Amino acid sequence: MTTATQTLWKIDPTHSEVQFKVKHLVISTVTGSFNSYNGQIEAKGDDFENAKANFTADINSISTNNEDRDQHLKSDDFFNAKEYPQLKFESTGFEKVGEGEYKVTGDLTIRDVTKRIGLNVVHGGTVTDQYGQTKAGFEVEGTINRKEFGLTWSAVTEAGNVVVGDKIKLQLNVQFIKN
């Protein structure tokens, strides 16, 4: 009986997007992204079941297309980028739940708070590009409550509308290169 060797896949930032969405004033959605991040998956062969994944994003790379808002997010009201320069995710489970579909659980650390979260992952496929590199694409989605991670800043308008929603939708479209 032979066991498959471990395969290391590293994130390809030029073909990936790491975004989040949050309600603003309850009526609209603000989309933000991280522009500097790293991630890798360690899997047995080309099958991702029971793989190990980890991911980090640099807080100072946050962008919501509004410099004042970005600076506020980097401040101690939210992420406190000076003291906690990265958010981190490390998987604890990578379970196949359907054809090309996985449920990934893991520990997300924001600021100094670590919580177990669940993510839905769709493997879009694996191909070899024109340079002979093997690449795998994934869509990752999940929802967290920002207040559980110490991002508790809140404000209410004169009309009684909450300025920033508590639920944060995570949306990652990521491509990995087989090493």
Closest CA to 149 of 170, 163, 133: 170
3-state DSSP assignment of residue 68: helix
Tell me the per-residue pLDDT of 11-70, one tens digit each, with 9 for 90 and over: 999 999 999 888 665 556 888 999 999 999 999 866 798 999 999 999 999 999 889 989
Q: Whole-prediction pTM value?
A: 0.88
Tell me the per-residue pLDDT of 122-139, one tens digit each, with 9 for 90 and over: 999 999 999 999 999 999
Q: Where are the alpha helices (DSSP H) in the chain?
A: 67-74
- In the prediction, which pLDDT does 166 show? 81
Fold annotation for 6-178: Lipocalin (2.40.128)
The 10 Å Cβ neighbour count of residue 164 is: 21
Q: Where are the alpha helices (DSSP H) in 13-123?
A: 67-74
142 vs 162, which has greater pLDDT? 142
